[in-house]
Structure 1
Amino acid sequence: MKNTLTLVDSHCHLDMLKLAPEALDQRLAEARARGVAHFLCVSVDLSTWPQMLLLAQRYPDVSVSLGVHPLYEVEQEPSLETLCALAKAQPRVVAIGETGLDSHYTEAVASEVQEARFYTHLQAGRQLQLPVIVHTREAKQATLAILRQGLDTQASGVLHCFTEDWDMAKAALDLGMYISLSGIVTFKNAQDLREVARRVPLDRLLIETDAPYLAPVPYRGKVNQPAYVYEVAQCIADARGISLPELATATTENFYRLFQRASPIGYPVCC
């Protein structure tokens, strides 16, 4: 029986799966068989971005972002001019990032470097009118402060792999952002996150795998795959007391509304 669900994996790292072409073909086919219609392959490092782009160009249902992760050490910080030039040259780029702040690993990139990098990405999003994919960990107030100053509320953005509290979600929503939930929402000790999943307005919610990381239950501890976004969707649907098709339809519409360059021809992107 044909799968009638339409899901989107709004954040994955297909290049980090480190699969041979035939094996990646198989993984994406498995995801499509479970209803996954689109994949957003997210950039973390400009030095590996050309290889990631070449990989993504093999698949018409894969879009890409452009950016440098806050924890990545680089020889030269990405300039606004570089980000804009690279993004303009590639129509497959639908977003800037991932960018943001991460205070968990204190020995990693210094906070002032992360903040400057974050501002540069937000400027690029504003200049290009592209949404920004934001990573935040143990940096709630600093992340919100920078977003309030630099986010283009028209192009908007998403807090990906959200693990913070409702207060932060509400503040981001008030800025016009979206909230994306990963396999963490399925973990036994994630009751507070499932409460956030219940409270985020359905028209501002996204789902993701963050593959190859953070595989959901019942695959926890294994290498994550885009196909497993199904489990993320099912968990959130159960938490909200709605059907899986309703959750799938809403999050897919949200994805194409936010990442308008990824939208298939004829797919509605307006409210």
Structure 2
Amino acid sequence: MTGPASEPAAADDLISLLSDAHCHVDTAQLIAVQRKYGIRSVISCANGDQWRQTSRWLADTVRDNESSNVSDSPSNRTSDIRLSFGIHPWDVNSYRFADALPYLEQTAIVGEIGLDGEWTDVPLAQQIAVCEAQLDYASRTHKPVVLHTKSREREVLDLIRHYPNRYMVHWYACERWQYDYLDLGCYMSIGPDLQTDESVRSLARRIPDDRLLIESDGLESLSWARGREYRVDEYVGALVDLLRALAVIRSGTGTADTALGGTADAAVRALAALTCRNLAAFLAPVAR
């Protein structure tokens, strides 16, 4: 397997604390980077082909690590890479709940699922039917859920009120209903448009410490949000940049120095540790 093209320019102790609460992967190289640097992450799969391919890539990285000197990794812990599975609202016309069930039974995390009112022409009624079936399954099997809410924030909120569970709302970009989701105990992940979308910035200021997560959404989304192509060897740096911007915004001072106390570097490391712990808490088994 081909490794990353270059090493990230960030301190080892910070890299070892990185997490990515939601990402899509279209190359084995990205998983190799996550594994090498011990990045706790959740990789989203939307169909059987993606599940099988990503599972093979994960297995390959394990074999590669076993045959190499993994002690050279800067991480002090083994990377925790999980696969989630769910029928995305864009794909409701292509897959039925019955098609997803064999994969849902293999995963501990359901998602990304939800509703979309902007980037798909799938009728809302169809989206709701498939989403609700998956919400019901996740609630009955006590599996946490990753939610997609684009331009259907109120409708998703109404749905999840009927299915008590542990939820992560990924890349929420709406000024309204932020506190409603937080009042339900949802985790909220901040995505790569933090520096350009004021609704994301306002949410970043409001999320309680124990519900805050960060995500890349994958290289394609990073490229879309930042207006240029991102390579695999820039992935770690993109997560670090996101943490630095988040520390500044949450500090309210224009610098990261007082985001979580201490110097800027210490504040960013503390924020990395916080979001990594929160992701571990989100991934823990849901109480029955």
Q: TM-score, normalised by structure 1?
A: 0.79
Q: Aligned to 2:177, which of 156, 168, 185?
A: 168
Poorly superposed stretches of 4+, deviation over 6 Å: none
Unaligned runs of 5+ in 2: 1-9, 63-78, 252-258, 260-266
Partner of 1:251: 275
1:102-181 alignment to 2 at 5 Å? 102-105=116-119, 108-150=121-163, 152-153=164-165, 156-165=166-175, 167-181=176-190
Partner of 1:48: 50
Partner of 1:98: 112
| Conserved? CA contact 2:22–2:217, under 8 Å | yes
| Conserved? CA contact 2:18–2:39, under 8 Å | yes
Partner of 2:103: 86
Structure 1 counterpart of 2:45, one-letter code: S
Q: CA deviation at 1:115?
A: 0.5
CA distance in 2, matches of 1:25, 1:76: 26
| Conserved? CA contact 2:23–2:41, under 8 Å | yes
Distance 1:126 1:26, change over 3 A: closer
Is residue 2:246 matched to residue 1:239?
A: no
Q: CA deviation at 1:238?
A: 0.9
Post-superposition Cα deviations, 1:220-250, rounded to whole Å, max 9, x if no partner, equal: 4213654222221111111011111121111
Structure 2 counterpart of 1:253, one-letter code: R
| Conserved? CA contact 1:104–1:138, under 8 Å | yes
Aligned to 2:194, the other structure's residue is in SS state: helix
Partner of 1:63: 82
CA RMSD, Structure 1 to Structure 2 (Å): 2.7
Aligned residues: 242
Unaligned runs of 5+ in 1: 262-268
Post-superposition Cα deviations, 1:52-87, rounded to whole Å, max 9, x if no partner, equal: 2222333463210011110015444123x952x434
| Conserved? CA contact 1:209–1:229, under 8 Å | yes
Post-superposition Cα deviations, 1:231-271, rounded to whole Å, max 9, x if no partner, equal: 2111111101111112111111110001116xxxxxxx99x
Q: CA deviation at 1:13?
A: 1.1
Partner of 1:264: none
Partner of 1:7: 18
Post-superposition Cα deviations, 1:87-135, rounded to whole Å, max 9, x if no partner, equal: 44x3xx33101000001035x2211111011111111211221111001
Aligned to 1:180, the other structure's residue is in SS state: strand
Is residue 2:207 matched to residue 1:200?
A: yes
Aligned to 1:210, the other structure's residue is in SS state: coil
CA distance in 1, matches of 2:138, 2:61: 25
Post-superposition Cα deviations, 1:9-66, rounded to whole Å, max 9, x if no partner, equal: 111112x2xx3x4x44664467x2xxx5212111122343222222233346321001
Q: Aligned to 1:221, which of 218, 225, 228?
A: 228
